[in-house]
Homo-oligomer: A and B are copies of this chain.
Amino acid sequence: SKEVWKKGGRMFSILLAVHLALLACTLVSSGAFERIAVHDYDVFFLLTVMMLIVIIWIIFYLISTSRCPDAILCKDSHAGPVWLRGGLILFAIFSLVMDVFKIGYYSSFYSCLSAIKIMYPIVQAIFVVVQTYFLWISAKDCVHVHLNVTRCGLMLTLTTNLAVWMSAVTDESVHKAHSKLKKNTTEELFRWLLKVGMRSGSTEACNCNSQICQIFKNGYFWLYPFNIEYSLFASAMVYVMWKNVGRFIDHHSHHVQRLKFRLFRRTFFVGIVLGLIILVSGLGVLIVYEVQVNSSTEPSKKGQALTMYYVFNIVCLGLMSLVCIGGSVIYRFDKRDMDRHKNPTRTLDVALLMGAALGQYAISYYSIVAIVASTPRDAISALNLTYALLMIAQHTFQNIFIIEGLHRQPPKEDHKRSSHQKELYGLTFVNVSAVSLRVPDSGSAAAPSTGTEGTHPSDLVRSLTAPKKINWRRKLLREISMFLLLCNIIQLWIMPAFGARPHFDNDTELNFYGDSMWPAIVDICLPFGIFYRMHAVASLLEVCIMS
């Protein structure tokens, strides 16, 4: 109640974040080009300073909120659900392993490096530990002291995570581009890696020849995707905390959803089995593809590998699109009320899903234009076109399915409902149309909810008419979301994240757009596509549990 103008308080922290993000973006993008006289240690220096400031602020925050008893008056029950925090810890552990590999790799040629190269992974490891602890215990907080300092601190944390994310994405893209485009000799890549490691030092007598150094080097590039996801997960949670600063939650109108993690209490057959089949065959396809494309130099083998990759993906995407359409059709018949409570977590989820899908959309549209306008139309072009079109369709249908699922009220517990049903039968045993008249007006204003225990009249109508049908429907929805979840994991997250790049192995787009524009498009858009898949997996898990 102290705050006169919330928007003004937010504005200053946004301005701080915008300026820091732009500075980081400038340095990171300049550092990615070899011709430009900005080196990667300049970037590492900025990131190290930012992370140190964030660590200090987090410690200050934890101390000040624990000392002040009325610092956190209420908690947002939607923020930081358990699977998000669990995922954060999982990615944090992989990030720490990556940092250890990085420290090991750089310490192999300690003498010819600037100190910041080794400082950076050490500070990053501390940052990951402190931030994960901070998010684990305070992701749900609605802070009410030091409003402006907290907002600025959270925005600083958010910007630091985004800057680390940008730096990791750039680093990985440069690495991938070098290893794909100059693939004729592995010597080339090796020389490049050395140069990255030692831009500041002398170039002689600093070789990574030992077995352990090679393991460190390969390990940290393979673990990059986890670090990238860690930064994005942390950013999303910090953003929700920032939205919740100074927020008052009305506990009467806000019914707490206690979703239990009863994933394996019910039987999941079709969804899980089909999903696992696709997962395993997808892993097989990925390995065969990688081996064939990377090892063989003859174009016919490469064509075979591409054909296999596209056919598998087209089958998979087609199945997923059909299943999503089926799920949306089932929702048409689902008369559960839409959940209209204010929920920053869900709003962010929806915005991220829609926004991150843009990356894959953009790649697909550029592909389509290139294929349609190119003249030699062979079988691989036709497969590529189908793949691009299905990619767009699948993203669209899946977004619609997930967003509809997230906006449904979670069902009440079955045993609770039956006990309530009895009471209500006794009290108001009326005909259905009379009860349905009591359904509150579902206009633009949020319908007042009746708390956790109270049963909605519309629930009663539903349970009077078709309780069996609803159970059957909910089971089907759960199967669908489990299937989609597994498909998203393998087909569309692991494959691009661990190196399958048909965009470069296939020549059509590369010839059409040229060697500079097409890699730029893919490198900017693909990380968003990968993030979309990660985020879709988390959202599908939520849909699965809620339906």
Contacts and interface: CB of A to CB of B under 8 A. Distances in A.
Interface of A is mostly: helix
A27 interface: yes
B444 A3 contact: yes
Contact of A369 (B38, B350, B512): B38
Given A7-B403, A37-B512, 11 more contacts: A8-B403, A8-B404, A15-B400, A18-B354, A18-B358, A22-B361, A26-B366, A26-B368, A26-B369, A30-B366, A38-B369
Given A358-B22, A443-B1, A517 B15 contact: no
A416 B514 CA distance: 69
A4 B442 contact: yes
18 contacts: A1-B441, A1-B442, A1-B443, A3-B443, A11-B403, A15-B396, A15-B399, A22-B362, A25-B365, A26-B368, A26-B369, A30-B513, A33-B514, A36-B514, A36-B517, A38-B369, A248-B443, A248-B444
A14 interface: yes
Contacts of A186: none
Nearest to A24: B365
A215 B407 CA distance: 58
A458 to B, nearest CB: 12
Contacts of A1: 441-444
Q: How many copies does the complex hold?
A: 2
Interface of A: 1, 3-8, 11, 14-15, 18-19, 22-23, 25-27, 30, 33, 35-38, 246-248, 338, 350, 354, 358, 361-362, 365-366, 368-369, 373-374, 392, 396, 399-400, 403-404, 407, 441-444, 512-514, 516-517
A400 B26 contact: no
A272 to B, nearest CB: 29
A267 to B, nearest CB: 31
Given A30-B513, A37-B373, A338 B18 contact: no
A71 to B, nearest CB: 17
B514 A365 contact: no
Given A19-B361, A361-B19, A35 B514 contact: yes
A230 to B, nearest CB: 26
A35 B516 CA distance: 12
Given A26-B362, A36-B512, A338 B373 contact: no
